Amino acid sequence: MSSSVKILNISNMIPSSKYQSYGIFIAQMDADINRIPGVSSVLIGIGYCQSIFLKLYMYIVLYVKSLWLILFNSYSCILIHSSTHFFPILLVAKIKSLFVKSNIAIYSHGGDIYLEHVKGKGYLSLLKVLSFLSYSTADSIFVSSQTSKALLSSKFRGKVCIQYPTSIREIFFLCNNGCHKDLTSTDYINFYITGRLVHGKGIVSLLDSIKFPELSIVNVIGDGPIRDRIEFMCAQPGRVFLGNLSHLEMSSAYHSTSGFFIFNSRLTEGLGLVVLEAMASGLVPFVRSNTGVSELIDHGVNGYVYSDLQELQHLIFNILTLSKGRLNKMREACIDTALNFNHEYGEQLKSNLLK
Q: What is the pLDDT of residue 179?
A: 37
User: Quick one: how far is CA 340 from the chain centroid?
Assistant: 30
312's CB contacts (< 8 A; 6+ apart) are 206, 210, 262, 264, 286, 306
Q: Which segments within the chain are labelled E, that is strand?
A: 5-11, 39-45, 77-81, 103-107, 140-143, 160-163, 189-194, 216-221, 239-243, 260-263, 284-288, 304-306
Q: Exposed, middle or buried, 26 (CB in 10 Å: 0-12/13-18/19+)?
A: buried
As a whole number, the mean pLDDT across the chain is: 79
pLDDT at 186 over 60: no
Least confident of 6-10, 70-74, 340-344: 340-344
List, in order of start, the domains of the chain with CATH numbers: 5-179 (3.40.50.2000), 187-354 (3.40.50.2000)
Q: What is the pLDDT of residue 184?
A: 36
pLDDT at 73 over 90: yes
Percent of the chain with pLDDT over 70: 76
pLDDT tens-digit map of 223-279:
889 888 888 887 766 777 878 877 777 777 787 667 899 998 876 666 678 898 899
Q: Is 104:138 a contact under the CB 8 Å cutoff?
A: yes
Q: Is 129:93 a contact under the CB 8 Å cutoff?
A: no
pLDDT at 116 over 60: no
Residue 345 — pLDDT band, cuts 50, 70, 90? low
Q: Is 282:260 a contact under the CB 8 Å cutoff?
A: no
pLDDT at 105 over 90: no
pLDDT at 222 over 50: yes
Q: Which residue has the higher pLDDT, 163 or 203?
A: 203
Q: What is the pLDDT of residue 29?
A: 79
Encoded amino acid at 224, one letter: G
Residue 183 — pLDDT band, cuts 50, 70, 90? very low
Q: Is 257:167 a contact under the CB 8 Å cutoff?
A: no
Least confident of 12-16, 86-90, 198-202, 351-355: 351-355
Give the separation between CA 308 and CA 312, rounded to whole angstroms: 6
Q: Give the length of the chain.
A: 355
Q: What is the pLDDT of residue 257?
A: 66
Q: Is 226:197 a contact under the CB 8 Å cutoff?
A: yes
143-160 mean pLDDT: 69
pLDDT at 2 over 70: no
Residue from 274, 270, 276 nearest 297 by CA: 276
pLDDT at 152 over 90: no
- How many DSSP H helices and E strands does the chain contain? 15, 12
174-190 mean pLDDT: 46
pLDDT tens-digit map of 273-318:
889 889 988 899 999 998 888 888 999 999 999 999 999 999 998 8
Q: What is the pLDDT of residue 309?
A: 93
Q: Is 74:82 a contact under the CB 8 Å cutoff?
A: no
Residue 180 — pLDDT band, cuts 50, 70, 90? very low
Q: What is the pTM of this model?
A: 0.52
pLDDT at 178 over 50: no
Q: Is 182:208 a contact under the CB 8 Å cutoff?
A: no
Q: Which residue has the higher pLDDT, 217 or 351?
A: 217
Least confident of 70-74, 130-134, 182-186, 278-282: 182-186
Residue 45 — pLDDT band, cuts 50, 70, 90? very high
Q: What is the pLDDT of residue 50?
A: 84
pLDDT at 210 over 80: yes
